Amino acid sequence: MTTESEALTRTDLAQRYFRAEYGHFIGGQWVEGDSGRTIPVTNPTDGTLLATIQAGDAADVNRAVAAAKAAFPSWSRSHPMQRQAVLAEMARRLKARSDDFAMMETLDNGKPIRDSAGFDMPGTAAVYDFYSTTPLHLRGETMDFPDAVSLVHREALGVCAAIVPWNIPMYCTALKLAPALAAGNTVVLKPAESTCLAVLEFFAECADILPSGVVNIVTGYGPEAGEPLVTHPDVRKVSFTGSKPTARKIMGYAAVNIIPQTMELGGKSANIICADADIDAAVEGVVMSTVFNKGEVCIAGTRTFVHQSVMEEFEEKLKTVLSKVSQGDPTLPDTQLGPQASQVQFDKVKSYLELGPREGAKVLVGGAPARIPGLEKGLFIEPTIFTEVENDMRIAQEEIFGPVTCVQAWTDEEEVLRLANETPYGLGGGVWTRDLGRAHRFAREMQTGSVWVNRYYNFVPGQPLGGYKESGFGRENSFETLLHYSQAKAVIINLAEGTLGIYDTPPAAS
């Protein structure tokens, strides 16, 4: 049970890590919003106020874009090793205060401290480290011809708009910011208004190493701050991570000025467990995919296909492991499942818990909001497993974004691959088998941007992250990403002397 002293500790932590109010970060300065309006940011564990942020609007966006545009000429022509040094120092500072930023993310988002400290901060630092090695390697090329030399330069785009989601704020910010800066662009960042405090504190930590205007942050709601940012005539690229409905709006906004976009959207990824799989490892992977980050992960393997011959063993072991998952105060090191990040998300997940049985699915585990003594205002959901699921059910086709997994049985390889691909999404996937040939066959046939074999969420540096179909386009977390943040310019130098003679006066007729 959470004691009164622990509740006070959460309040003390908030006061320790956060300011009472945050401004926009524009031109290297923290400034108030033009409207004077603010947005409260609350702790999803107990509903208490953490801080207030600015409710940005078009006037704030205009200031931020102007600062980024003014900084672009110098930054885009800076020595690659300068950009390398900045990114490396950002990684170093993050690692130096990793525990602090992990706690900030936990207080703001509700994810267990074991997730924010064990994945979010190391993963975020790794992104900055990875891209710190790339500025010297973003190169053009030359092509030699008998009478010419063709030079291809890679040039930065300009001001880039980065819009990041609420589920993994620090990590998703790095995925956009680091390659943009490495390639020589300047950035206007709009974080999610509900979970942006760790991001704001990180850039307060790094403000002295970032040239004025290279990174700017405008907080606020999507229609008031996001739309004017994406439609601004001086923005040259948009990178967005979030939901399909919002992506459609942003793509429409970006079409105003015909600018390139990178879209990393939702997922409903298939996790296929074969008859010869290590069932204990597969169960662990399914539990992790269900409860990690409270299930608020777009690439989570939320559709689990289990071979019929091992279904009984799988379900029994799954129930046993899930029964041991510790749910409660996310600031405590033993907690494995925290509250959903917002009331809106809690209500959405709850609606799917009610929908599943109506569609004919059976609840194996969970199926309801969780009541945590001492945290009655917390937005907790029981880890939930639906069985006897049909692939055309909404719970099997729509992104729930909570600790909910659907289990389906299979017997035929061709059929399970058809079912796995029978979704509008294509972001992630998993295969569990001891048969190397089967692993390769399945991975090739799965229509998805990432496939993990025998360990889900096995992220490695430089792994391209992105989706097929309605999960988006473009890739993050890899060298390829730099090509999305730069453009090619061809310069052809003529080596031949004299004219071509094609307009010489023809000889007079005899």
**Which residues are designated catalytic?**
264, 298
Note whether 303 and 396 are within 8 A (CB).
yes
Three-state DSSP class for 339?
coil
Q: Among 398, 395, 399, 379, which Cα is nearest to 387's?
A: 395
List the strands of the sheet with 472-473, edge to edge.
29-31, 24-26, 215-217, 186-190, 159-163, 235-241, 261-264, 472-473
Q: How far apart are CA 39 and CA 67, in angstroms?
A: 24
Cα 106 to the center of its chain, rounded Å: 17
Note whether 219 and 189 are within 8 A (CB).
no
Q: How far apart are CA 41 and CA 55, in angstroms?
A: 11
Three-state DSSP class for 115?
helix
Q: How far apart are CA 313 and CA 321, in angstroms?
A: 12
Q: How far apart are CA 33 and CA 52, in angstroms?
A: 12
Give, in order, the Cα–Cα distances in Å from 9 to each of 14, 34, 369, 466.
9, 35, 25, 39
Note whether 401 and 289 are within 8 A (CB).
no
Give, in order, the Cα–Cα distances in Å from 78 to each of 69, 75, 180, 375, 483.
15, 5, 14, 51, 18
Dihedral, CA of residue 102, residue 108, residue 114 and residue 120, to nearest 10: -60
Three-state DSSP class for 224?
helix
Q: How far apart are CA 382 and CA 372, in angstroms?
A: 10
Cα 145 to the center of its chain, rounded Å: 44
Angle at 472 between CA 269 and CA 235, to 5 degrees: 150
Q: How far apart are CA 193 and CA 217, in angstroms?
A: 11
Structure tokens at 282: 């597969």
Q: What is the DSSP letter of 162?
A: E
Structure tokens at 207: 């403000």
Q: How far apart are the first and last CA of the chain?
A: 111
Neighbours of 491 (CB within 10 A): 11
Structure tokens at 214: 């290279």
Note whether 112 and 126 are within 8 A (CB).
no
Q: What is the DSSP letter of 309?
A: G
Q: How far apart are CA 155 and CA 309, in angstroms?
A: 56
Q: What is the DSSP letter of 392?
A: T
